Amino acid sequence: MLKRLWLIFAQAVTVALAVLFVVATLKPQWLAQTRWREAAAVPTARPAELPPLPSPAASALRAGFAPAARVAVPAVVSITARKAPARSAGRARDPLPFGFPFGPRAPRGAPQLGLGSGVIIAADGVLLTNNHVVEGASDIEVQLTDGRQAQATLVGTDPETDIAVLKIALPDLPTIPLGDAASLQVGDAVLAIGNPFNVGQTVTSGIVSALGRSQLGINTFENFIQTDAAINPGNSGGALVDGDGRLVGINTAIFSRSGGSLGIGFAIPVDVARQVAAAILKDGAVARGWIGVQTRELTPELAEALKLGDARGVLVGSVFNDSPAGRAGVKPGDLLTRIGDHAVATPAALLAAVAALQPGSLVALSVQRGGKALDLRLTVAQRPPPQRLAEQE
């Protein structure tokens, strides 16, 4: 019995193999379809799942300046100032390699369309910009980041610090928090915000490269924050903010031989801008002290020639006619060593000390004339506008 079953099984296997051989030879596609159907019937392996999108909490932890930008950007505006046709090819106070990142100049004889930036510092519409952005403008238009536009009123300007105060009348205005420029340190991260080349609101980042930059020949009163954050034409009057989005400076000038950013930009410290704005809002102008002298640096050669020995101070080069210093007896060649409570050793220090004096106040001067020390007293006058000072020189 078993032998018979085995014989039947062997014959069946032989026949099956013969049939498979014939099919594989004559109709191989039948076998391919069969394998495909069998493969389709077998469950496939589950594909790897993609990682989930980051949650808001996780994305908030990423490094960057987005939080500071969100605080400051809404309060930075674009300014379009329409001016009368230019009489000359360029501005007289734009000496290369220092320039004002203002905007493209119109051809000679054509009306100028100046592009700049500004910063809203009060909810009632007070904003700061540069004097050179709006100087001589007949029409000033301000555009906010939310698309709203308004005509601005020029409240006042201070050309000697290059600050101008504007005002707009719009509801629900965003404002920027004011920072402390005095607490800045070299290496601190800062953002420059403005409308360069009229491409739209732009944020660039950098660090504080230097503090207290002066004697650059840009403004009369200089105490600039230097930064390598990119500042380009159209950035004038825009915001320099710290890592918390607080205003620490008003962008005003760049070092450039091409007109574009080379990584050396300058901003007016916010404390200076705020003091100027407060004076303009209160009195319409900034009142500074003036004694009527032109000074020069005391060099060892000049000290020896004038027999001043090791004395330190500021050399008087000339005295204006009918000025407080002239009436008090100050003469060219005198060495000013002290004014009021301030010892002075450089022309910049003397200029700042005199400007801080209240016009009409009485102040004492310490002067060295040759080997003789003199104490003089004078009544401080109000500093004339730059145009009048230039006419007197």
Do residues 230 and 255 make contact, with C-beta atoms less than 8 angstroms apart? no
132 is catalytic: yes
Alpha-carbon gap, residue 312 to 49, rounded angstroms: 77
- Cα 224 to its chain centre, rounded Å, is 11
258 is catalytic: no
Alpha-carbon gap, residue 87 to 169, rounded angstroms: 33
Residue by residue, what is the 3-state secondary structure of 322-387?
CCHHHHHCCCCCCEEEEECCEECCCHHHHHHHHHCCCCCCEEEEEEEECCEEEEEEEECEECCCHH
Task: Tell me the longest C-alpha to C-alpha distance in the chain.
Answer: 148
Alpha-carbon gap, residue 124 to 105, rounded angstroms: 32
Q: Which of 117, 132, 209, 261 is catalytic?
A: 132
Q: Which of 78, 117, 209, 236 is catalytic?
A: 236
Do residues 249 and 267 make contact, with C-beta atoms less than 8 angstroms apart? yes
Alpha-carbon gap, residue 287 to 367, rounded angstroms: 26
Q: Which of 78, 158, 162, 256 is catalytic?
A: 162
* 390: nearest Cα among 93, 94, 89: 93
236 is catalytic: yes
Q: Which residue has the tokens 């009544």?
A: 379
Residues that are catalytic: 132, 162, 236
